[in-house]
Amino acid sequence: MAPKRSIPATAPLRTPAKRLPRRVAGHNTKTAVPVTEAGFANPFPGMLSAFSQWDQFEQVPELLWPNSVRTYTRMWREDSRLASVYYAIALPVLRTAWRIDPNGARDEVTEFVAANLGLPIVGADESKPKPRIRDRFSWSQHLKLALRHLQYGHQVFEQVYRIGEDGRAYLRKLAPRPSSTIAYWDIDLDGGLIGITQFPPGTSFGTPLGVTGGMQGLQLQIPVNRLVVYVRDPDPGQWIGNSLFRPAYKHWLLKTSSFVSRPQLRGVTVSVSRW
C-alpha cells in the first residue's frame, strides 16, 4: 500500500484569473435606457469596394457586386419572361396618378412640396394648366429610373437644388448615379451608409475606355447627406440590396447554356456502339 503524502501547510493556493473588463462600443454613460449601440450590424465597415467582392452569403461569382450589375443587365435584356415580370411590377406604379396628400400640413408647406415634385395636390383643380418652371424636376422620369432598384437591388441618386428668387432652395433634379459607376460603398459599423465613391470619368468599372479632359484618375466621393438611395430587400449593413432576378439566375443560366447554334451542332461527332 502506497504511503500517504502530506501537503505542507505553507503550500500556495491557486487564485482564479482576473476577468478582463468587456469592451463596450460607444460611451459608457449611466442612463436609465441605452442611448448608444454596444453591438454592430456590419462586421467589415468600409470594405465593400469594386475590387473586394465581399459578400458572406453570395456564393456565385457572377452575382457578387459589381459583377452582378453586368449579370442582371443581361438577364433583363435577354429573357422576355424576366422582362415581363419586371414590367408587371413597374408599369402599374408608373401609370398611377400620383398626388400630394396634405395630411394636416399647412397649405404653404403642401404647395411648396407639390411645386418641388411637380405633382398636383389632392382635391385641387387639375384642369388648370401648370406654368413651366425652369430646371423643373420630373417625377415621372425619376420614378422610371428609381424602379431599376428592382433589377439591381439598389439605385442611387444625387440631390441637386437651385435657389429661387424668393431665396428658397428648390429641387432641381435627382441625378442618377448608375450602379456601374459606383466603385466603393462606405458603410459604418452600425450599418449606416456614410457615402459612395464613383469610378473616374472615362472608365468602365475602373477600366479606362476613353479620355475625359482634366479628370483622369479622379474618383468622386459623394456623402450620404447628398444622396437618395433605393434598396430592395436589404440585409442588415448591406446597401447593395437583393435583385428581383436573383432567384431566377440558375434557371436563366440553364436556359442560356442550352442554346446551341447549328454550326456548332455540325462539328459535334456522335459515337455509335454496335453489339
Q: What is the pLDDT of residues 187-223, one digit of tens each?
A: 998 889 999 999 888 777 766 655 544 455 567 889 9
Tell me which amino acid residue 9 is: A
Question: Which three three-digit cell numbers place residue 52?
Answer: 473586394
Please give the model's pTM, rounded to 2 decimal places.
Answer: 0.77
Q: How do the domains of the chain map onto residue ranges?
A: 62-124+132-179+226-253
Confidence of residue 161 (pLDDT cuts 50, 70, 90): very high
Q: What is the per-residue pLDDT for 250?
A: 94
Determine the straight-line distance between the first and last CA of the chain, rounded to whole angstroms: 84
Average pLDDT score over residue span 16-25: 55
Average pLDDT score over residue span 115-138: 80
Candidate from 34-38, 134-138, 174-178, 216-220 with smallest mean pLDDT: 216-220
pLDDT(80) > 60: yes
pLDDT(99) > 80: yes
Across the chain, what does the average pLDDT equal? Answer: 82
For residue 198, the Cα-to-chain-centroid distance in whole angstroms is: 14
Of the candidates 70, 55, 60, the residue with the CA atom closest to the CA atom of residue 238: 55
R_g over Cα of the chain: 29
pLDDT(231) > 70: yes
- Matching residue, cell 491557486: 14
For the beta carbon of residue 18, count every other beta carbon within 10 angstroms: 6
